[in-house]
């Protein structure tokens, strides 16, 4: 696991909590996170979605983007595999059904 400051993970953890919700902001945050997880399968992220989330959420997304750019690691490198698999199950259940077929 890469060595990073615990504070660097805080924005990601808040985003995961938001993405577990059932709101338009939750959907946008999930799209952002899942684009990091696997953009090919989960889809990309529309940058104009930053306009549709609260400033604090946008700040967390930007902090996460900076971490992604600076560390070159996927979420599972930070022990977040189960969290992201849960987001796939919640927001992209068709991907799980395709695996079972």
CA-angle at 53, arms to 51 and 89, nearest 5°: 120
Counting every residue written for the chain, the total comes to: 101
Q: Given pLDDT bands bounded at 50, 70 and 90, which one contains residue 79?
A: very high
Question: Where along the chain do its domains lie?
Answer: 6-100
Which of 17-43 are b and which e, b meaning 16 or more Cβ less than 10 Å from the residue's Cβ?
ebbeeeeebbebbbbbbbbbbeeeebe
* Burial degree of 61 (CB within 10 A; 0-12, 13-18, 19+): buried
| Contacts made by residues 76-83, CB under 8 angstroms, sequence distance 24+ | 77/1, 77/2, 78/1, 78/2, 78/4, 78/9, 78/12, 79/1, 80/12, 80/16, 83/16
Kindly report, residue by residue over 21-74, the tens digit of the pLDDT: 999 999 999 999 999 999 999 999 999 999 999 999 999 999 999 999 999 999
Rounded Cα distance, 61 and 63, in Å: 5
Of residues 100 and 27, the one with the higher pLDDT is 27
């Amino acid at each position: 696991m890469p060595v990073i400051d615990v504070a660097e993970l805080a924005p990601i953890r808040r985003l995961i909590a938001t993405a577990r919700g059932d709101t338009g902001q939750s959907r946008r945050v999930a799209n952002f996170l899942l684009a990091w997880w696997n953009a090919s399968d989960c889809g990309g992220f529309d940058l104009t979605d930053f306009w549709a989330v609260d400033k604090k959420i946008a700040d967390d997304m930007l902090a996460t983007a900076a971490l992604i750019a600076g560390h070159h690691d996927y979420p599972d490198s930070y022990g977040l595999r189960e969290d992201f698999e849960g987001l796939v199950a919640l927001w992209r259940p068709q991907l799980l059904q395709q695996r079972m077929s």
